[in-house]
Amino acid sequence: MKILVDMNLSPDWVPVLKDAGLEALHWSEVGDPSAPDQVVMDHASAHGYVVFTHDLDFGAILAATNAAAPSVLQIRTQDVDPASLAKTVISVLRQCQRHLESGAALYSCLTWSIVI
């Protein structure tokens, strides 16, 4: 699975995800850091990435456009540091891999829910 980490999450997520056996890159490695969210979504969709974000806009873009891709993993918590969330995020990615690869939005607050 390929993960594109959004600008609102630390680049420190990339090595954490890679250590878990996932292909990952931070948006700042491939695009303009101030690019609109739709540009990030278009890139992710064109290159087969799941967008990993803390931003509410990505789910709204999916809903407004009725797009089937890219999948989005959205976390909503105060502490988005990999040291605090890595085990949980990686576990969810593994458990939901099939859904993410076929088109899904995962939202997290205190619990995870899947919207397909």
pLDDT digits (tens, 9 = 90+) for 21-67: 999 999 999 999 999 999 999 999 999 999 999 988 887 888 888 88
Q: What is the C-alpha to C-alpha distance for residues 6 and 98, in angstroms, rounded to an integer?
A: 21
Mean local confidence (pLDDT), 1-6: 96
pLDDT-derived band at 107 (thresholds 50, 70, 90) equals: low
Mean local confidence (pLDDT), 6-28: 97
Question: What's the chain's average pLDDT?
Answer: 87
Domain boundaries defined on the chain: 2-115
